[in-house]
Amino acid sequence: MASPRSPRDRRRPPGPRPGPGLVGRPGSTGGARGAERGLLYEPGYLRPADRADILAWLATLRPLWEQRYSTRRPPPAGKQQRPLLRPVYWLGNWQFACLGYYEPPRRTRDCAVAAEPFPPVLARLVADIEPRVRRSCAAADVPRGWHLNTCLVNFYGDRQDGTRWVDVARVGDHRDFEPGPVASLSIGERALFQFVRRGAAGQPPVRGQWLDDGSLQAFAGPWWKDELLHRVQRVDDKHQLDLPPAIDGFRTRRVNLTFRYVPPADVVPLAALGDEAYADVHDYVATLAASSPHFAAALAAPRRRPDPRRADAVTGTPAPRPPPNRRTSWSGTRRR
């Protein structure tokens, strides 16, 4: 006997489907790679009540507009200090730009600081989204232990520059380095999301999809997530939206909540950061602490002695290498 479906399942069948707003040819990636396997798009996924709860929660946030590099020392050679293109907020763990999140080697280790848990509305939605994502992709594309324990909240809109407003509602070509499938919810104006080939500037995208207000999107697997890059090409501006929260010098017309998996071993509490990393993020955390009980408690917690086996952003110094012996061979393999 089949198990009863949830109200959402009765409205639409599970599994990957192109959905409205598809841009380009659905099969243009080639059957050998499985053109639709690993993709999920469900328009109208968010119920009105859930959408209202998310907007009410967003109004309580105080997003950060981070600088790309540490503000306490010069940026890396050949790099220039600059703010991120838009304000952000993280749940589960905060992957600070100044700890190297956007720098090679791309990884989650040594840049993920324990952050607030999901609010109840997002916890409920994630519990429904995870099985949908698993149904949409191959079992081999879901790593052991995978669950959506991290959320990046991106705010798309216009940045004030003196007396004018500059549209910064876009994201350039990139890939997400967190392991396993990625899922996202969209609120506000629709956005044109595209998959593109590496080094194919000027060529048509492999796949495009308009992400509508209230839609759910997910993608997984080596083709969609690793071999291709993705971007937000543009965001419509048809309804003069100004979504919460209030952000000085910024008007938000779209909010995207991207859910990812970060291995728990890669997440460290603020108190366990090394001296240099702690100083780099201190002012950001102090700003968050003004409106976040989690970060207020983290800032007040006594510092811990860093684990000497960890390195880079966490301890600020390389981990010691034990001398080789007959049972240990140092082959130069890079730690992830």
Query: Does residue 332 sit within a domain?
Result: no
Query: Does residue 1 sit within a domain?
Result: no
Q: How confident is the model at residue 101 (pLDDT cuts 50, 70, 90)?
A: confident
Query: Does residue 303 sit within a domain?
Result: no
The rounded distance, in Å, linking the Cα atoms of 293 and 289 is: 6
For residue 116, give its domain range: 39-267+288-297
Backbone angles phi and psi of 11, in degrees to 5: -80, -30
> Is pLDDT above 80 for 310?
no
Query: Does residue 330 sit within a domain?
Result: no
Q: Which of 279, 271, 285, 287 is nearest to 72 (CA)?
A: 279
Q: How confident is the model at residue 321 (pLDDT cuts 50, 70, 90)?
A: very low
Query: Does residue 202 sit within a domain?
Result: yes
Task: Answer yes or no: pTM beyond 0.85.
Answer: no
pLDDT value at position 137?
95
> Is pLDDT above 80 for 307?
no
* Eight-class DSSP state of 139: G
> Is pLDDT above 50 for 106?
yes
The rounded distance, in Å, linking the Cα atoms of 44 and 216 is: 8
* Residue 265: strand, helix, or coil: helix
The rounded distance, in Å, linking the Cα atoms of 188 and 104 is: 33
Q: What CATH number does residue 153 fall under?
A: 2.60.120.590
Query: Does residue 281 sit within a domain?
Result: no
Number of domains in the chain: 1
> Is pLDDT above 80 for 225?
yes
User: Please, which residues have CB within 8 angstroms of residue 240's CB and are 6 or more apart in sequence?
Assistant: 253
Query: Does residue 13 sit within a domain?
Result: no
* Residue 155: strand, helix, or coil: strand
> Span 165-184, mean pLDDT?
90
> Is pLDDT above 60 for 192?
yes
Asked if residue 213 lies in contact with residue 256, where contact means CB atoms within 8 angstroms, the answer is: no
Please tell me the total number of residues recorded for the chain in this structure. 336
pLDDT value at position 84?
86
pLDDT value at position 5?
45
> Is pLDDT above 90 for 280?
yes
185 or 336, higher pLDDT:
185
Query: Does residue 213 sit within a domain?
Result: yes
